[in-house]
Amino acid sequence: MNAPDPGPSRVCVTRTLPDAGMRELETLPGPVDVHHGDGPPSRAELLDAVAGASGLVTLLTESVDEELLTAAGPDLRVVANCAVGYDNIDVDAAARRGVVVTNTPDVLDEATADLAVTLMLAASRRVVEADRYLRAGNQWIWDPRLFLGLDLSAGATVGIVGLGRIGLAVARRANAFGMRLAAHRISESCRAEADALGVTEVPLPTLLSSSDVVTLHCPLTPRTHHLIGAAELDAMPSHAVLVNTARGPVVDEAALVDALERGAIGAAALDVFEHEPRVHPRLLELDNVIAVPHIASAGHATRDAMATLAVRNVAAVLAGRPPLTPVRERSSCHS
Tell me the per-residue pLDDT of 97-116, one tens digit each, with 9 for 90 and over. Answer: 999 999 999 999 999 999 99
Under 8 Å between Cβ of 181 and 197: yes
pLDDT computed for residue 195 by the predictor: 97
Q: What are the structural domain ranges in the chain?
A: 11-107+300-329, 109-291
Distance CA 84, CA 105 (A): 5
42-46, 215-219, 265-269, 325-329: least confident range: 325-329
pLDDT computed for residue 4 by the predictor: 42
Same fold? 11-107+300-329, 109-291: yes
Under 8 Å between Cβ of 323 and 313: yes
The string of DSSP letters for 249-289 reads: GGB-HHHHHHHHHHTSSSEEEES--TBTTB--TTGGG-TTE
pLDDT computed for residue 62 by the predictor: 96
Distance CA 104, CA 308 (A): 9
C-alpha distances out from residue 148 to 25, 239, 307, Å: 50, 12, 41
pLDDT computed for residue 1 by the predictor: 39
DSSP type of residue 332 = S
CATH code for 11-107+300-329? Answer: 3.40.50.720
* pLDDT digits 0-9 by tens, 229-283: 999 999 999 999 999 999 999 999 999 999 999 999 999 999 999 999 999 999 9
* pTM across the whole model: 0.92
Under 8 Å between Cβ of 241 and 265: yes
Tell me the percentage of the chain whose pLDDT exceeds 90: 93
* pLDDT digits 0-9 by tens, 130-176: 999 999 999 999 999 999 999 999 899 999 999 999 999 999 999 99
> Which residues belong to the active site?
247, 276, 294
Distance CA 119, CA 116 (A): 5
Bridge-based pairing of strands 213-216 and 200-201 is: unpaired
CB contact burial 221-249 (16+ within 10 A = b; e otherwise): eeebeebbeeebbbbbbeebbbbbbbbbb
CATH, domain 109-291, list 3.40.190.80, 3.40.190.10, 3.40.50.720, 3.30.420.130: 3.40.50.720
Per-residue pLDDT band for 7 (boundaries 50, 70, 90) equals low
Model confidence at 333: pLDDT above 60: no
Cβ neighbours, 10 Å, residue 29: 11
Query: What is the arithmetic mean of pLDDT over 120-133?
Result: 97
Helical pair 109-124 and 127-135, crossing angle rounded to 10 deg: 60
Q: Which residues pair with 157 in a beta bridge?
A: 180
Tell me the pLDDT of the chain averaged across its residues: 94
3-state secondary structure (DSSP) of residue 290: strand
Model confidence at 331: pLDDT above 70: no
pLDDT computed for residue 5 by the predictor: 44
Query: What is the arithmetic mean of pLDDT over 309-324?
Result: 98
Under 8 Å between Cβ of 322 and 154: no
C-alpha distances out from residue 224 to 163, 177, 248, Å: 14, 29, 11
Query: What is the arithmetic mean of pLDDT over 171-194?
Result: 97
Per-residue pLDDT band for 335 (boundaries 50, 70, 90) equals very low
